[in-house]
Amino acid sequence: MSLAYETIATLRRRLLSKEIHPRDILKDLFTQIDAREKTLHAYTYLHRESALAAAEKADLSLPLGGIPIALKDNLNTLGDPCTCASKILEGYKAPYDATAVSLLRQAGSILLGRTNMDEFAMGSSTENSALGLTRNPWDPTRIPGGSSGGSAAAVAGRIALAALGSDTGGSIRQPAALCGCVGLKPTYGRVSRYGLVAFASSLDQIGPLTRTVEDSALLLSVLAGHDPRDNTTDLRPPEKFLTQKNGSVQGLRVGLPKEYFLPGMDSETESAIRSAADWFKKNGATLVDVSLPHTPTAIAVYYILATAEASANLARFDGVRYGRRATDARDVLDLYHRTRSEGFGAEVKRRIILGTFVLSQGYADAYYRQAQKVRALLRQDFEKAFTQCDLLLTPTSPEPAFPLGERTQDPLKMYLADVFTISTNLAGNGAISLPCGFTKSNLPIGLQLIGPRFGEETILRAAHAFEQSHDFLQRLPPS
Amino acid sequence: MNTPAKWEAVIGLEVHVQLLTQTKMFCGCTNHYGDAPTSHVCPVCLGLPGSLPVPNEEAIRLTLLTGLMLGCTLAPVARFDRKNYFYPDMPKNYQISQYDDPLCAGGQVPLDPFLFPKEIQDTAEAKAGRAIRLTRIHLEEDVAKSFHFEDRSGIDFNRAGTPLMEIVSEADLRTPGEAFSFLGSLRQVLLAGHVSHADMEKGQMRCDVNVSVRPIGQKEFGTKVELKNLNSTSGVRRALTYEIARQIAACEKGEAIAHETRRWDDEAGATFTMRTKEKAHDYRYFPDPDLLPVRTDQGLLEAARTRLPELPTVLQSRLIQSFGVTAYQASVLGADRILCAYFEKAAAQAKSKATVANWILNDFLSTQPDPTTTPILPEFFGELADLVADGTINSAQAKKVFAELMANPASPREIVKRLGLAQISDASALGTYCDEAIVANPRSVEDYRAGKTNAINALKGFVMKKSQGKANPLQVDEILKAKLSA
C-alpha cells in the first residue's frame, strides 16, 4: 500500500525500524499528488525539491523526524510565499518563520506544501480563495468546508499525512468534519499565534488536521506551549498528550447541550450524533443534559467581534510596504483605495466594512461593546456547563458538505455553517472534530467534542477511545 | 505678553516624550536614532503579516515612575488599545496606544519660577507658584519618519515602534510664559528620573498645543485651535504669543475663530492653517486583542518606586535650607544634577556654603562648564571659600587664587603659598601700616574726625597699597577706627 495512506504514528515506527526512508514517504505522496491534486486543488504551493532535500537530512530521533506536513497558506515560513489566498499578498515572501513552523522544523518534520483556504480565513467553503476552488475528496462537486479547506482536502484525499490549519470560528473543525478527518482547535492561548496572519486575534488558534486522534495528539504535543513572542499564550509548562491510551470512557460525564440539537436539523447528521452519544453511554459514560443558553447569540456576537478585529488586522495591506501595489495611483489615498479595491475579494471587503462600522463612533456601544458583554455571558455558559460534565458532545456542522456554488451568493446562509463551532472560539475552549459516520450518499459526518479550557487531554482520550472502536478510518474517499 | 486686560488665553498641552529604553515598545529592536535608515527593524515593528507585539516592561516602569514623580493616580490594571487611521508612516495602519485605561491619571507639574523666560522671572506671573494639573499619562508606540524628496517620499522605520509617553495637561495654562515654564519644569522631572533626555530640539520631547481665548470672567472656553510644528520651548512661547494675539484681534473684529489645526512657521513667526476640523476623526479605538491587560501591581509598580529620585522641588528646598543658596541658584543647580552633585561635594565641608555656590555658579561655570571632565576637585572650592572666610585671603586675593586654580589646578592653600598671597592679619604689622597712613593723609584724618566717615576709605586704600593687597581689610578697618577715635 502507498505510504500516503498511513498515519504519522505508523510511519514513525517504520522509519525508526529503518524499514522505510523519509524519501519513500515523499515519493508516495508526490505520486498521489500527481494523480489527485488536479481534481482537488488542495495546494497553493508545493515544496517538491526542498522537501526531497530535507528528507535526505532528516533526523529520525526527533518526534516528527522525516514526517512531511502541509501548512495552511496563512502561516509564515521563511523565504516562502504566504498568500492567505488573496491577491493582495501577490509576490510577498515571508522573511521569518511562524513559531508553529519553527516548532515543526525543530521536531524534524518536512514542509511539504501550502494549502488553499478562504481568503484571509474568511469563509466556510474555501470558495473565497483568489487562487481557485478546492474540491471535497468524497465528492468533487462539493465544497471541502473552510476556511482550512485545502488542509482538510489534502489530509482526507491522502495527498498529505497531516496539515496545520487555523480556526477562528470553526475553520479547522468544520472542514475536518466535511472531509472526514480529525481537526483539533486547541484552547485559546495553547498554541502560539506568532506568524499566523491574523484574522481575529482574540479568536484565532492554530491546530492540526490529521487522519487519527493519535496523530492529532502527536502534533499538539509539538505545537503547544508558551511563546515569548505571543503575549496571549498561556504560561503553563509544555505537555505531552495522549501518552496513555486505555481506550476507556468509563465514568466520563458527557454533556449534550440542548441548543445544539434543534428541530429541523439534518436527519442523517442528527442520527449519527445520537448514535455517537449512545456509544459513550454504552461504554460507561454518563450522558447529561446541559444548556448553553446564549448559543443563539453566538453568530451575531462573532460577526461583530471577528469583523471588528479583522478591520484593524487587515488595515496593514495597503500597497505601501509589501504585496500588491496598485499602479498609476494619483496620491497615497488613491494608492490605498486602488490597492485594497483590487486586492481584496468580496467577502473580505464585506467583513472589513462591517467591522469598521461596528467600531464607529455612535455605533460601537450598540455593537462592539455590547457584543463583548454577550461574549462574557457565552463564556459563563461554558464554565457553568463544565461544572456538570467533563466534555460536551455536539455535531460539528449542521449538515454534510454542500455543493460548490450553492451559497456563494448568500453570505448569511454561509455564516450558519459555523453555528456549532463559533461559540467555542468565543469562549476560548478547545474542541475536536472527528468522523462519526457517513450519509447514504457517502459523505462524512463529524462529531464535535468540546472540553473545558486546557482540557485537551480529556478531549483526546475520549476521541481516541471513540475512534478505536469504529472503523471510519478504513473508509477511503473514491480515487 | 501684552494681552489686553479683557481677554485671557486658555492653553492645554499634549507632550510626547521618547523614553530611554534599550529596545522598542513591542519588539526587541534597538531604540536608537541617527543610524542608517530602516536598520533597526523586524517583522513586529514593520507590521508584517503574522507578527505580534509584546510589551516592553521597562517602558511601562518608566511611565509608572513618571506618574509617581508627578503625583498621578496609577492604574492597577492598564490596557492597550488600537487607534485606527491610515498613514504611510504607520506600518499596521493602527497605532497601539492607550485609551480607556491609561497607566496614569491626574497629577500635576509645579511651575518653577526660574524656568519662566528670563525677562519675566520677576513678574507676578512667574512668582505665582502655580501647579498645572495633568489629565493623564499613557504609553504608545511612535510612528516611522517620513522624508519628502523632490519626486518621491521615503520612510525610515527606525523610529517605528519606539516607546512614546504622552502627557496630557488640563487646560490650566493661561500664558505663553506658563507654557514655557511647564515644559522646562516637566523636563527637569523627566531628567531627574532618567526617563528621557527630553530635548525638544532633538525631538525627544514633542509638543502639541491647544489654545483658545475668552473674555476674562467667562467660564466657557472659546473655539480651540491646535498648533503643530513646535520644535523648541521658545518656539512654543513665540507661537502662543502670536496665536493668542491673532485670536484676540479676530475676536475684537467680531470674527469667529475656526476650529482648526495651524502650523507654526518659525521663520515667518506666524501660524498658518493646516487643516480644518469640521469632521472629528473617528479613530475607532478598541482594546488590542494581542495584548493582555497590564497588571501594574505585580512587581512593575514596586520596581518603579525603588527608582524614585529626589524631585526638583524637593531638591531645591533642600539646597536652600542646607546650603543657604538663593532660590535662583537652587533652580540652576537643580536643573543640572551633575553640577549639583559637584556643588554638594564642594560645599559639604565648607564653612560658607553660599560662597561656594557663588564661586561655582558665577566663576567656575563661565570657564569650565563640564564638571565631569574638569581636573578641579570640588573640594578645592570649599577650601577657597574657607580661606576667605577665615581671613587668610581677601576677596581680591581669592580672585587671583581662582584664576591660578583654573590655569594650574592645585589646592588653593598651595596656590596661596605659591603666590605668596597670605593675608597679613598680624596686629602689630597692620598697626604700623595704619600709623603710616594717618601720618601721610592728614586731610583725610581731619575729614573723618569732622564726621565724614567715608574718608576712612582713603586711609584703607593706603594700607592696602602699602601691604601689596595682603592686609586683612576687616582688621585694618578696626585698627584705623580705634586709632582715629583715640
Which of A197, A147, A205, A208 shows the shortest CA–CA distance to A428? A205
Rounded to an integer, what is the distance from CA A466 to the centroid of its chain?
A: 21
**Partner residue facing B284 (CB), from A74, A228, A359:** A359
Question: pLDDT (tens digit, 9 = 90+) per residue, B390-413?
Answer: 778 878 888 888 888 888 888 888
Contacts of A368 in chain B (CB under 8 A): 286
Q: What pLDDT shows up at residue B355?
A: 85
CA distance linking residue B125 with residue B110, whole number of Å: 13
Does position B369 have pLDDT exceeding 70, yes or no? Answer: no
Q: What pLDDT shows up at residue B1?
A: 47
Give pairs for A405-410: CB < 8 Å, separation 24+.
A405/A127, A407/A125, A408/A125, A408/A127
What is the C-alpha radius of gyration for chain A, rounded to an integer number of angstroms?
A: 21
Question: pLDDT (tens digit, 9 = 90+) per residue, A21-38?
Answer: 999 999 999 999 999 999
CA distance linking residue B3 with residue B178, whole number of Å: 14
Residues A435 and A405 both lie in one domain: yes
Determine, for residues B292 and A232 on separate chains, whether the beta-carbon distance falls below 8 Å.
yes
Q: What pLDDT shows up at residue A245?
A: 82
Question: pLDDT (tens digit, 9 = 90+) per residue, A37-92?
Answer: 999 999 999 999 999 999 999 999 999 999 999 999 999 999 999 999 999 999 99
Mean per-residue pLDDT, A119-130: 97
Q: Which of A328, A345, A372 is the last residue of a domain?
A: A372
Which of A347, A343, A349 shows the shortest CA–CA distance to A409? A347
Residue at A285 is within a domain: no
Here the CATH number for the domain that contains residue A209 is: 3.90.1300.10
In chain B, the percentage of residues whose pLDDT exceeds 70 is 98
In chain A, the percentage of residues whose pLDDT exceeds 90 is 94
Q: What pLDDT shows up at residue B475?
A: 85
Residue at A353 is within a domain: yes
Question: pLDDT (tens digit, 9 = 90+) per residue, A418-472?
Answer: 999 999 999 999 999 999 999 999 999 999 999 999 999 999 999 999 999 999 9
Q: What pLDDT shows up at residue B358?
A: 87
Of A151, A171, A221, A423, the active-site residue reads: A171
Task: Give per-residue burial for A124-152: e unless 16+ CB within 10 Å, then b.
Answer: bbbbbbbbebbbbbbbbebbbbbbbbbbb
- Cβ(A146)–Cβ(A171) under 8 Å? yes
Residues A60 and A203 both lie in one domain: yes
Question: pLDDT (tens digit, 9 = 90+) per residue, A221-270?
Answer: 999 999 999 999 999 988 999 998 878 999 999 999 999 998 878 999 99
Residues A367 and A409 both lie in one domain: no
Residues A84 and A231 both lie in one domain: yes
Looking at this protein, which amino acid is placed at residue A93? K
Residue at A312 is within a domain: yes
- Reported as a pLDDT band with limits 50, 70 and 90, residue A7 is very high
Mean pLDDT over the full length of chain A: 96
- Reported as a pLDDT band with limits 50, 70 and 90, residue B470 is confident
Helix H segments across A157-231? 173-179, 213-223
Domains detected in chain B = 7-303 (no CATH), 312-410 (no CATH), 427-485 (1.10.10.410)
Question: What SS3 class is residue A255?
Answer: strand
- Closest chain A residue by Cα to residue B91: A316
- Reported as a pLDDT band with limits 50, 70 and 90, residue B4 is low
- Reported as a pLDDT band with limits 50, 70 and 90, residue B351 is confident
Residues A360 and A225 both lie in one domain: no
Residues A350 and A400 both lie in one domain: no
Phi, psi of A277 (to 5 degrees): -60, -45
CA distance linking residue A126 with residue A134, whole number of Å: 6
CA distance linking residue A222 with residue A273, whole number of Å: 30
CA distance linking residue A144 with residue A133, whole number of Å: 9
CA distance linking residue B376 with residue B383, whole number of Å: 12
Which of B310, B370, B373, B376 shows the shortest CA–CA distance to B345? B376
Phi, psi of B124 (to 5 degrees): -60, -35
CA distance linking residue B433 with residue B472, whole number of Å: 12
Contacts of A337 in chain B (CB under 8 A): none
Which of A469, A420, A451 shows the shortest CA–CA distance to A279? A469
Question: What SS3 class is residue A436?
Answer: strand
- Cβ(A130)–Cβ(A147) under 8 Å? no
Residues A366 and A404 both lie in one domain: no
Residue at A263 is within a domain: no
Q: Specify the residue for cell string 491510551.
A: A245
CA distance linking residue B121 with residue B129, whole number of Å: 11
Looking at this protein, which amino acid is placed at residue A52? L
CA distance linking residue A141 with residue A136, whole number of Å: 7
Active site residue A147: yes
How far is the first Cα of chain A from the last one, in angstroms, to the nearest whole number?
Answer: 14
The continuous run of DSSP H or E covering A253 comes out as: strand A253-257
Q: Which of A372, A399, A425 is the last residue of a domain?
A: A372
Residue at A470 is within a domain: yes
Residues A20 and A108 both lie in one domain: yes
Question: Total structural domains in chain A?
Answer: 2
Q: Which of A308, A342, A372 is the last residue of a domain?
A: A372
- Reported as a pLDDT band with limits 50, 70 and 90, residue B484 is confident
B114: number of CA atoms within 13 Å, CB side?
14
The continuous run of DSSP H or E covering A39 comes out as: helix A22-40
Name A451's Cβ contacts closer than 8 Å, sequence gap at least 6. A187, A390, A391, A392, A429, A430, A431, A458, A459
List residues of chain B with CB under 8 Å from any CB of chain A: 43, 46-55, 82, 84, 86, 88, 91-94, 155, 280, 282, 284, 286, 288-292
Q: What pLDDT shows up at residue B236?
A: 97
Of A124, A125, A147, A166, the active-site residue reads: A147
Determine, for residues B290 and A231 on separate chains, whether the beta-carbon distance falls below 8 Å.
yes
Residue at A313 is within a domain: yes
The continuous run of DSSP H or E covering A26 comes out as: helix A22-40
Which of A22, A11, A75, A15 shows the shortest CA–CA distance to A53? A22
Mean per-residue pLDDT, A89-113: 97
Determine, for residues A364 and B286 on separate chains, whether the beta-carbon distance falls below 8 Å.
yes
- Reported as a pLDDT band with limits 50, 70 and 90, residue B275 is confident
Active site residue A171: yes
Residues A54 and A170 both lie in one domain: yes
Residue at A355 is within a domain: yes
- Closest chain B residue by Cα to residue A358: B284
Which of B50, B56, B62 shows the shortest CA–CA distance to B29? B56
Residues A467 and A392 both lie in one domain: yes
Tell me which residue range forms the domain holding A150.
3-252+388-474
Residues A82 and A109 both lie in one domain: yes
Phi, psi of B191 (to 5 degrees): -65, -40
- Cβ(A178)–Cβ(A80) under 8 Å? no
Contacts of A94 in chain B (CB under 8 A): 48-50
Question: pLDDT (tens digit, 9 = 90+) per residue, A354-375?
Answer: 999 999 999 999 999 999 999 9
Name A307's Cβ contacts closer than 8 Å, sequence gap at least 6. A200, A351, A352, A354, A355, A358
Phi, psi of A105 (to 5 degrees): -60, -45
Q: How far is A413 from chain B, CA to nearest CA, in Å?
A: 28
Mean per-residue pLDDT, A209-220: 98
| Count of C-beta atoms within a 10 Å radius of residue B312 | 24
Mean pLDDT over the full length of chain B: 91
Burial category of A341 from C-beta neighbours within 10 Å (exposed 0-12, middle 13-18, buried 19 and up): exposed
- Closest chain B residue by Cα to residue A120: B49
- Cβ(A251)–Cβ(A261) under 8 Å? no
Residue at A259 is within a domain: no
Residues A324 and A177 both lie in one domain: no
- Reported as a pLDDT band with limits 50, 70 and 90, residue B2 is low
How far is the first Cα of chain B from the last one, in angstroms, to the nearest whole number?
Answer: 61
Determine, for residues B286 and A368 on separate chains, whether the beta-carbon distance falls below 8 Å.
yes
Does position B346 have pLDDT exceeding 50, yes or no? Answer: yes
**Partner residue facing B55 (CB), from A194, A231, A308:** A231
Does position A192 have pLDDT exceeding 90, yes or no? Answer: yes
Does position B423 have pLDDT exceeding 90, yes or no? Answer: no
Question: pLDDT (tens digit, 9 = 90+) per residue, B311-345?
Answer: 999 999 999 999 999 999 999 999 888 899 999 99
Instruction: Give CA separation, B48 vs A206, A323, B36, B93, in Å.
Output: 18, 10, 20, 11
Determine, for residues A229 and B284 on separate chains, whether the beta-carbon distance falls below 8 Å.
no
